[in-house]
Structure 1
Amino acid sequence: MNFNRFFNFQSKTVGSAAGILAFAVLISHLLGLIRDRLLAGAFGAGAQLDIYFAAFRIPDLVYNILFAGSIIVAFLPLFSEYYTKNKQEGWEMANYVLNSFLFFFFLIILILFIFTPQLIELIVPGFSLESKAAAVALTRLMFLSPLFLGLSSLFSAILHYFNRFLVYSLAPILYNLGIIFGILVLAPRFGVFGVGWGVVLGAAFHLIVQIPSAKGCGLKYRPLFNLRNPAIWRLFKLVIPRTIAATASQINFIVITILASTIGAGAVAIFNLSNNLRYFPVGVLGVSFATAAFPLLSKNWTLGKKEEFFKNFSSIFRQILYLAIPVSLLVFLLKTQIVKIILETGRFSLEDVKLTAACLGIYSFSIFAQCLAPLILRGFFSLQDTKTPTLIALAFLVLNIILCFSFIHLLNFENPFSEFLRNTFSLEGIESFPVLGLSLAFSIGLLFEFLLLLIFFCKKVGDFGIKEIGSSFSKIIAGTLFMGLGVHLALKKTIFFLDTQTPGGIFLEFLIVFLLAIFIYFLITLFLKSPEIKALKSFIAKQFKNYGRKSN
């Protein structure tokens, strides 16, 4: 195998980049689901898994606030500007940023390391003293993770600029493999701390795999350090609004973790496991397309090609919509099968399955919005507007906190609303389920955030193809309704010839219904002449044609 060619592979189009990213995200998320299944089987939805998720929260917060998204969004256009003018200046700027990042990171981690006990007390006040002590030790161990992931995000931004999406897409796969190694090999000996070491190992893999490709682009490390460098201050100005938005998002999860820790043992785990399942289609459909489109949209707007910007944005918006709406309904209809296949093992009880499936069902109503939000965000970032999304993120935070408290209170006693949820999600035999209030609040908040993003983006850029989107939307809804009817009828029939009480029977039921759903949806949208199905057919045919040429 030619490793040099592999590490320097460039994507030529948004479609090919999105295809690579979607496939890699699919593999990564499948590994993530396997990871969660192994976690559920090893620890169950109990105190040990609660400790892991609570300890994971602070290092994850550091990474998400300081680096995830922020670095790529801010660094990419700035690096593009410097590199276009002078390649040497571009690489010097990259080294200044890299060394400044290391300086600030070690300073922040030192402070957080010292005050970890106080932070854990704040995040999980409902934990026992023993659980809090374990969470403190595990958190300190996992502080190595954001160091590796933060450095990796800088290399990712460089790879994005040079369209090296193949290597970039491998990083999260290796990250999950590291965690799985921790669960399978280290956890039997070291317990939940073995999983912590797996997180650190996975983060190191995330970084290491991108280094050869970044060097292939031309990056050479130099110990350049000057906090007065203009590029550093320009980067900070771009990062600050995005960092505030990321902080709001992380505060959101911290508040949810605090509230979940007071509900009872297992609530933190159930929320996190269902949230991970929710993110699977969002990552595969929404984030992949948005990530691949960002360099193109940014270049369109920077070069003044507004018509191209609108055309590309509208096309990608409709493609995501075409896939996300049927997936939202499919997740709702198959929520129990999904949870049973992925999580029902070992110590994960039937009650855990019911509550996790109910949380996932609630999330499903907003999955389409969550898939579209990353693209709209990239649209704002292409315009170099990070302030508007930040203000919207803060509004989402306030609404979500209010709704969390309201729904938890409402679901702590019998009333028509709690009875409605009990009947809708088949929660007979479970006395109370306030954890559903957290998922409900989060889902409503995400819908609210999406609507605000869409409204303000339309106000900022005007008509970006609303008529075409409306035409596609009507055909997508028709196809989704027929698909939903077919799935509903199929689920009633499969119980007559499949033993749905066994893992094999559940998996077969899911597979049969899933394939039927795809067939019905594509058939109906093809009959309705949906432009998105035509674009999909054209893309697949092109890929097979290119593959045939390479084979010859």
Structure 2
Amino acid sequence: MIAKFLNSKTKTITFTAAILAGSGLLSGVLGFLRDNLLANLLPKTQTDIYFAAFRIPDFVYGILITGGIVAAFLPVFSAEFKKSKEDAQILTNNVLTFFLIALIVICSILAIFTPYLIEVLVPGFSLDQKTQTIALTRIMFLSPILLGVSSIFSGILQYSSLFFAYSLTPILYNVGIIFGIVFLLPLFNFDPRALAYGVVLGALLHLLIQISPVLKSGFRPRFSFNFRHPGLQKIFKLMIPRTLGAAAYHINLIVITAIASTLAVGSIRIFNFANNLQGVPIGLVGISFATAAFPILSRHFANNAKEKFLKSFSTIFSQILFLIIPLSFLTFLLRAQIVRLILGTFIFGAGLFDWWDTRLTAASLGIFSLALFANCLIPFLAKVFYSFHDTKTPVKIAVFSVVLNIILCYFFVGFLNSPSFLQGKIVSFLKLKGIQSVSVLGLPLALSISSICQFFLLVSFLKRKTKILDFRRIYLSFLKILVSAILMAILVYLTLQISSLFLATNKVSGIFLQAFFAIVVGVLSYGFFSFLLKSQEPKVIWSSLLAQFKK
């Protein structure tokens, strides 16, 4: 039964996106549990160390895997599979062999030089904090090796429309980390290295769940050392600009971590907790649709099916807008309730996530919500470029936005650290009066502004590159969605104000009920206003879901 589920195919982009969104939702819930445990079991210094230790292994993962293999493998694999399955098998074996060796060598070298890298990464840490960060980082270098192999398997499953097993990978990754927190941490006498072992376990589970469906699809991974294979050379060419873009993005995160390490203790975890919270809607909507659409768009382009390509593009763009714009409004209005319920309500531990943490994390989340629409559409727009083998344009734009973000980070951190009329207005608007240092908010503010700039640049260059794309339909859909979302937001705000009069919002039960009532009002009112304005997206989403079950 389980094997049948893992090996079954999906039929439509929307159903595939729904599967990935469902997986993302469950993974998000587990991510909330993970962050809740980290926030309440470990003091601020320990969680800062944990998040900092992720940066360099994540850099390797980002530039070679998400920035390289994931972006370049699928289009080339599609072209090879069009020739024959045997050609695709040969390509896959060469790719697996090369990247496995490359990842082992690179991670081993970086593990040796970790002490020097940590000096640059967290200049504001004490000697003891740096020592612990070095230990965790070295263990975590096993993770990108496992995830590298797993990502190649993911490409095979995506092309074969075997999304069920692939959809479980982020869930099992979080299960491994949670196991490390709940079981390994006490077993290791609360030595932070236990957290790193949990990360490695999660990466291993990420790989293992995909082995069976890959084998069932007919592929037999073997070592192959033909590194001059034309397909592998094509992947290298596609990777180079994308890898540079990914490197720029992760350098951006490294700079943010370095700046945060010099701010108040706990600033790294404030930024990461808020970033993780905004990552859930991005994963549910943006990543799910982008991942589901990529193989379809690649296939349409390879087959020169322009009409199908254009229809898929405008439909998916509008569907993402339909889902993420109301989510952005809800996230901003419910930011305090979200943070308090997910991080401030401790299940285990000593309740180390205090009111200072709650208010700053909520404010950071509120700032992030302003750019949710951009962060959800950026992955999809980038995949559109990748589908017709253009990796250079989105990379150039990404590099520009990263440079802009780094400049803005230094500017806004300095600006928020110095009292002024405008700084006071921002503090008042985000309800942060009484908190001495709010400079950490400069980090999400800079990241949000640079993301919005990146989105508009991608749209502009895409319009210039493919003049046949129908943006008029998208504009009309956007106006209807925006009006519906604004009307919904007004009702949600009124619901929050009225419910606060008779609910005990100083208790978990009161906060939960307040958020619940607001969400119910939001969902119902948004659906009602969308119906009144005759938005087409609900019909398209529903018909696509039904199509999955038709023979």
Task: Give the alignment's TM-score, normalised by structure 1.
Answer: 0.97
Conserved? CA contact 2:78–2:299, under 8 Å: no
Secondary structure of 1:373's counterpart equals helix
Size of the aligned set, in residue pairs, is 544
Any idea what the Cα deviations from partners look like across 1:211-258, whole Å, max 9, x if unmatched? 111111111122211323333222111111111111011000000000
| Residue 240 of structure 1: aligned partner | 240
- Is the aligned partner of 1:413 residue 2:418? yes
Question: 459, 467, 471: which is aligned to 1:462?
Answer: 467
The 5-angstrom pairing of residues 70-109 of structure 1 reads 70-109=68-107
| Residue 273 of structure 1: aligned partner | 273
Conserved? CA contact 2:80–2:231, under 8 Å: no
Distance in 1 (alpha carbons) for counterparts of 2:96 and 2:542: 43
Q: Which amino acid aligns with 1:384?
A: H
Any idea what the Cα deviations from partners look like across 1:70-97, whole Å, max 9, x if unmatched? 3122111211222221222221111111
Question: 363, 367, 375: which is aligned to 1:362?
Answer: 367
The 5-angstrom pairing of residues 196-207 of structure 1 reads 196-207=196-207
Distance in 1 (alpha carbons) for counterparts of 2:463 and 2:353: 45
| Residue 145 of structure 2: aligned partner | 147
| Residue 168 of structure 2: aligned partner | 170
Distance in 2 (alpha carbons) for counterparts of 1:296 and 1:188: 46
Secondary structure of 1:106's counterpart equals helix
The 5-angstrom pairing of residues 49-60 of structure 1 reads 49-60=47-58
Distance in 2 (alpha carbons) for counterparts of 1:240 and 1:308: 29
Conserved? CA contact 2:367–2:444, under 8 Å: yes
- Is the aligned partner of 1:137 residue 2:142? no
Distance in 1 (alpha carbons) for counterparts of 2:299 and 2:84: 18
Q: Deviation at 1:188?
A: 2.2
Q: Which amino acid aligns with 1:220?
A: R
Question: 492, 504, 508: which is aligned to 1:499?
Answer: 504
Any idea what the Cα deviations from partners look like across 1:145-194, whole Å, max 9, x if unmatched? 11111110000000011010010000110000110111111112332222
The 5-angstrom pairing of residues 291-306 of structure 1 reads 291-306=291-306
User: Does 59-68 or 458-467 show the bigger shift?
Assistant: 458-467
| Residue 22 of structure 1: aligned partner | 21
User: Does 238-247 or 458-467 show the bigger shift?
Assistant: 458-467
Q: Deviation at 1:462?
A: 1.2
Comparing both chains, which one has the higher relative contact order based on Cα–Cα distances under 8 Å and sequence gaps of 6 or more?
Answer: 2
- Is the aligned partner of 1:114 residue 2:119? no
Distance in 2 (alpha carbons) for counterparts of 1:136 and 1:72: 28
Q: Which amino acid aligns with 2:100?
A: L
Secondary structure of 2:304's counterpart equals coil
Any idea what the Cα deviations from partners look like across 1:456-513, whole Å, max 9, x if unmatched? 0111111422111111111111101110110111001111221111112111111111
Q: Which amino acid aligns with 1:419?
A: G
Secondary structure of 2:262's counterpart equals helix
| Residue 387 of structure 1: aligned partner | 392
Secondary structure of 2:265's counterpart equals coil
- Is the aligned partner of 1:375 residue 2:375? no
| Residue 10 of structure 2: aligned partner | 11
| Residue 262 of structure 1: aligned partner | 262
Distance in 2 (alpha carbons) for counterparts of 1:6 and 1:538: 23
The 5-angstrom pairing of residues 444-483 of structure 1 reads 444-483=449-488
The 5-angstrom pairing of residues 479-490 of structure 1 reads 479-490=484-495
Q: Deviation at 1:137?
A: 0.6
Secondary structure of 1:224's counterpart equals coil
| Residue 282 of structure 1: aligned partner | 282
Q: Which amino acid aligns with 1:193?
A: R
Distance in 1 (alpha carbons) for counterparts of 2:302 and 2:81: 15
| Residue 313 of structure 2: aligned partner | 313
Distance in 2 (alpha carbons) for counterparts of 1:235 and 1:466: 31
Unaligned runs of 5+ in 2: none
Q: Deviation at 1:541?
A: 5.2
Any idea what the Cα deviations from partners look like across 1:48-71, whole Å, max 9, x if unmatched? 111101111111111111101531
**TM-aligned CA distance change 1:309 to 1:476, over 3 Å:** same
Q: Which amino acid aligns with 2:23?
A: A
Conserved? CA contact 2:297–2:309, under 8 Å: yes
| Residue 36 of structure 1: aligned partner | 35
Q: Which amino acid aligns with 2:256?
A: I
Q: Deviation at 1:540?
A: 5.1
Conserved? CA contact 1:413–1:432, under 8 Å: no
Distance in 1 (alpha carbons) for counterparts of 2:413 and 2:401: 18
| Residue 187 of structure 1: aligned partner | 185
Distance in 1 (alpha carbons) for counterparts of 2:162 and 2:322: 27
Q: Which amino acid aligns with 2:48?
A: D
**TM-aligned CA distance change 1:159 to 1:541, over 3 Å:** closer
Q: Which amino acid aligns with 2:416?
A: L
Secondary structure of 1:263's counterpart equals coil
Question: 319, 328, 353: which is aligned to 1:348?
Answer: 353
Conserved? CA contact 2:67–2:245, under 8 Å: no
User: Does 431-440 or 220-229 show the bigger shift?
Assistant: 220-229
Distance in 1 (alpha carbons) for counterparts of 2:410 and 2:456: 23
Distance in 2 (alpha carbons) for counterparts of 1:445 and 1:431: 27
User: Does 249-258 or 75-84 show the bigger shift?
Assistant: 75-84
Q: Which amino acid aligns with 1:512?
A: F
Q: Which amino acid aligns with 1:30?
A: V
Conserved? CA contact 2:146–2:207, under 8 Å: yes
| Residue 424 of structure 1: aligned partner | 429
Q: Which amino acid aligns with 2:476?
A: S
Secondary structure of 2:502's counterpart equals coil
| Residue 524 of structure 1: aligned partner | 529
Unaligned runs of 5+ in 1: none
| Residue 330 of structure 2: aligned partner | 330
- Is the aligned partner of 1:439 residue 2:438? no
Q: Deviation at 1:408?
A: 0.9
Q: Deviation at 1:527?
A: 1.0
Conserved? CA contact 1:80–1:161, under 8 Å: yes
Q: Deviation at 1:285?
A: 0.5
Q: Which amino acid aligns with 1:499?
A: A
**TM-aligned CA distance change 1:164 to 1:541, over 3 Å:** closer
Distance in 2 (alpha carbons) for counterparts of 1:536 and 1:90: 33
Conserved? CA contact 1:286–1:374, under 8 Å: yes
Q: Deviation at 1:533?
A: 2.2
Q: Which amino acid aligns with 1:82?
A: E
Task: Give the alignment's TM-score, normalised by structure 2.
Answer: 0.97
Conserved? CA contact 2:63–2:243, under 8 Å: yes
